[in-house]
Chains A and B, each alone.
Chain A
Amino acid sequence: MNLSSPLSRIVLGAALVASAQAALAQQQLVPAQSEVQFTARQMGVPLDGHFKKFSAQVAFDPAKLATSKIAFTVDTGSATLGSRETDAELPKPTWFNVPKFPQAQFESTAIKALGGGKFEVAGKLTIKGNAQNVVVPVALTQSGPTTTATGTLPIKRLAFKIGENEWADTSMVADDVTVKFKLALTGVGKL
């Protein structure tokens, strides 16, 4: 191949772009070692729940934060509070409205390093069709090939219309909900 020809330069350029993208997209979520939990309060009683199904598209390079991107999707129908009675309610329109909004999404817009493996991930959180800008504090720890991202995000459930009508009463179910996550990733570069 004549490397000086315009065509070969385009082909080579495209290959380089593709390999760069491959390098950025090689982080994989390990679902078995990951968890997404949430805690709500009903008349002061902590209700601990979690999502069973979620996925992530991570293109994260600690050295290139400007081009790093994190997208995260949770299947709202996989939410459980560990009780048959409450789990039957969560998919209903007043709560997650799973038939209409089967997934909740987070998409990063900017990532800021705070040092010591700590980051601030700004992005858009969309639940039940309601989008809010949030800043998620994330701490990364590395062990062998696995990088674990942990963090806690306090949200207001009513901003996403989770619990409508008679359930909007915050004296019954508090507005504050804490989301806790632990995401195990492979393929993240050394911090």
Chain B
Amino acid sequence: MTTSATSTATAPRRYTRTAMLLHWVLGFALIGLFGVGIYMTGLPFSPQRLKLYNWHKWAGVTILVLSALRLLWRATHRPPALPSAMADAMPGWQKLAHHGTHGLLYTLFFAVPLIGWAYSSAAGFPIVFLGLWQLPDFVPVSKELAEAIKPWHQITAFAMAGLVLLHVAAALKHHLIDRDGLLARMRPW
């Protein structure tokens, strides 16, 4: 891998271990939770359905907290700059897409669970984390509000799923077509 003349010898080439751990754990957690969400909403009213709804909410709150830690980590630990050869080869629209996708993904890491939480509260079912700790409602209990919020949890979740697909496709394109070693920045080994 070449380094640009402007970057110093100490410039990081890879994400930190913590950033990698959060990336992979949250990546798989989000995909899993998306699948659970689609599966559970199709179930008939049953103990299994209610159990999955509660697990989904607990997992969503966990992801929300980890995403906050991740954002904090990212803000305090600058991610490695793109290798200069790659940055030079990238057309402007790709740079825009690269930053835009990451920015939107981070926005949705918060928007999707917060909207889900708001829906649960508005519907009159406060979240009780692990069945032990009742979380506060930040919206009032209201049938109308619940109905208004409901589609947005799904819409934002599908938007995130689309962006995740785009993110994975771009990473694979770099790895398999460009063969530029970009993935090494996020590979834990």
B131 and A44 contacting across the interface, CB-CB below 8 Å: yes
Q: Are B47 and A45 in contact (CB under 8 A)?
A: no
Q: Which of A44, A82, A169 contacts B124 (CB 8 A)?
A: A82
Q: Which residues of A contact B45 (CB under 8 A)?
A: 85-86, 88-89
Point out the residues of chain A lying under 8 angstroms from B50, CB to CB.
42-43, 172
**Docked pose: A88 CA to B45 CA in angstroms:** 10
Q: B-facing mask of A37-55, CB < 8 A → 1, else 0?
A: 0000011111110000000
Residue A83 CB within 8 A of the other chain: yes
**Residue in contact with B125 in the complex, picked from A47, A167, A169, CB distance below 8 Å:** A47
Question: What is the minimal beta-carbon distance from B107 to any residue of chain A, in angstroms?
Answer: 29
Interchain CA distance A169-B51 in the complex, whole Å: 12
Which chain B positions have C-beta within 8 A of A43? 50-51, 54, 128, 131
B115 to chain A, nearest CB (A): 18
In the assembled complex, the Cα of A86 lies from the Cα of B53 at a distance in Å of 14
In which size bucket is the chain B interface?
10 to 19
Complex partner residue of B123 from A83, A89, A167, A172, CB under 8 angstroms: A83
Contact: A166 with B46, CB < 8 Å?
yes
Most chain A beta-carbon contacts within 10 A, residue among B51, B125, B143: B125
B131 to A169, Cβ gap below 8 A? no
Complex CA gap A166/B45 in Å reads: 11
**Which residue of B is nearest A45, CB measured?**
B128
Closest residue of B by beta carbon distance from A47:
B125
Which residues in B have their C-beta under 8 angstroms from that of A89?
Answer: 45
Structural contact, B125 and A45, CB atoms closer than 8 A? yes
Contacts of A44 in B (CB 8 A): 128, 130-132, 134
B124 and A83 contact, CB distance less than 8 A: yes
**A167 CB contacts on chain B under 8 angstroms:** 47
Interface string of B127-171 (1 = CB under 8 A from A): 110111010000001010000000000000000000000000000
A85 nearest CB neighbor, chain B only: B45
User: Is the Cβ of A82 less than 8 Å from the Cβ of B143?
Assistant: yes
CB neighbours (8 Å) of B132 from chain A are 44
Chain A: CB-nearest residue to B54: A43
Q: Which of B38-67 contact A (CB under 8 A)?
A: 45-47, 50-51, 54
**Is B124 a contact partner of A48 (Cβ separation < 8 A)?**
yes
How near does chain B come to A80, taking the closest CB pair, in angstroms?
11
On chain B, the residues within 8 Å of A81 by CB distance are: 124
Which residues of A lie under 8 Å from residue B124 when comparing CB positions? Answer: 48, 81-83
- How far, in whole Å, are A44 and B51 apart by their CA atoms in the complex? 11
The answer, yes or no, to whether B83 is at the interface (CB within 8 Å) is no
Q: Which 3 A-B pairs have the closest CB atoms?
A: A44-B131, A44-B128, A43-B54
- Given A42-B50, A45-B131, 5 extra CB contacts under 8 A: A43-B51, A45-B54, A45-B127, A48-B124, A82-B143
